[in-house]
Amino acid sequence: MDVKEYIASGILESYSIGAVSPQEKQEVECMSHIYPEIRIELDKIMLSIEQLAEVQKIIPSPEVKNKLFNELKNQPSTAKIVSIKQKNNYASFNRLLAAACVVLAISMVTFYFYQASIEVDLNKQLEFSKDQNLQNKQVIESYRQQNIAMIDELTMFRDPNFKTVFLKGTNNKPESSLAIVCCNGVSKQTVIAIKDLPEPDSDKEYQLWAIVDGKPISLGMIPVDSISKGFFPVKNVENPQAFAITLEKKGGVAKPTMEEMYVMGEI
């Protein structure tokens, strides 16, 4: 994907004022997470929209604030609990009216069954709510885990010591091949995401190389199941000048096979 083109499309501005579809919204959030350039641009756009809004401000009448805070006092902070009112009007029946007594007896029996059925319903609902609650807890926990992973990644991308290198398809290999390496010389971390590489034959494996002082150093093999997934850590080297990926026999080789170089990118 071309980051510049994406930014130039104006979608970030549309996102910032909320004029995008839910799908585009998700896309922008994902893109700004992966590409620091997009994140930086998005922050700048939001700031300028705020500045634009600030210089065009009009002070509303002070009444609005008073009315607003009165209304907020009436806003429930949690959902109201609705109590079930029980009808008690059988207390006032007259013994002398036998007919009424029969009617009352029938209605009491009905009421008893009615109450009993409510209780069963309530119990069912309680069970259901408990189930739901457990499920919700599990969902929240999985979101929490995802969130921690995302914050880690975000912290990494926001760190100015991280350098991003795009490894692009070489001459004789598919043009769409793409991998992204991020390395941090200070914290000595290197991570890679394989965006697109052809599925290797079962007896072959991709090998990652760093070029240091003009010499290739193997950073290890790339697991097949990591293709098209997120970032994962790899071996770190000091002062790399470039990164490349070659297709080699399973287990890797000592020196890269130059004809089988799929992607490469210089720092």
Partner 1 sequence: MLKPSSHIEESFVLELKARSEAAFGKLYDNYSGALYGILFRMIGKEEIAQDALQESFVKIWKNIDSYDRSKGTLFTWMLNISRNHAIDVLRSKNMRQKIQNIDKIVGVVNKQMSTSMNTDFLLVKELVEKLKPEHKQMIELAFFGGFTQEELAQELNMPLGTIKTRARAALTELRKYFDK
Q: Count the residues in the chain.
A: 267
- Candidates 14-22, 84-92, 124-132, 217-225: pick the segment binding partner 1 (CB under 8 A): 14-22
Site string for partner 1, 122-161 (x = CB under 8 A): ----------------------------xx--x-------
Choose, by CB under 8 A, the member of 4, 22, 23, 57 that binds partner 1.
57
C-beta pairs of 227-233 under 8 Å, 24+ apart in sequence: 227/194, 227/196, 227/197, 227/199, 228/194, 228/195, 228/196, 229/193, 229/194, 230/153, 230/193, 231/153, 231/180, 231/182, 231/191, 231/192, 231/193, 232/191, 232/192, 232/193, 233/189, 233/190, 233/191
Using CB under 8 A as the binding rule, whether residue 79 contacts partner 1 is answered as no
- Candidates 36-44, 91-99, 137-145, 168-176: pick the segment binding partner 1 (CB under 8 A): 36-44
Using CB under 8 A as the binding rule, whether residue 23 contacts partner 1 is answered as no
Using left for φ > 0, alpha for ψ between -120 and 50, and beta otherwise, residue 55 falls in alpha
Rounded to 5°, the CA angle 152-157-163 comes to 135
Choose, by CB under 8 A, the member of 2, 18, 85, 251 that binds partner 1.
18
Q: Which residue, 18 or 233, has its beta carbon nearer to partner 1?
A: 18
In one-letter notation, the amino acid at residue 44 is: K
Using CB under 8 A as the binding rule, whether residue 201 contacts partner 1 is answered as no
Whole-number minimum distance, CB 182 to partner 1, in Å?
18
Whole-number minimum distance, CB 193 to partner 1, in Å?
19
Choose, by CB under 8 A, the member of 2, 4, 23, 58 that binds partner 1.
58
Contact 95, 101 (CB under 8 A): yes
Using CB under 8 A as the binding rule, whether residue 42 contacts partner 1 is answered as yes
Q: Which residue, 35 or 243, has its beta carbon nearer to partner 1?
A: 35
Tokens 């004809």 belong to which residue?
A: 259
Taking the CA atoms of residue 143, residue 144, residue 150 and residue 151 in that order, the dihedral angle to the nearest 10 degrees is 150
Q: Which residues bind partner 1 (CB under 8 A)?
A: 8-14, 16-19, 29, 42-61, 63-65, 67-69, 71-72, 75, 77, 150-151, 154
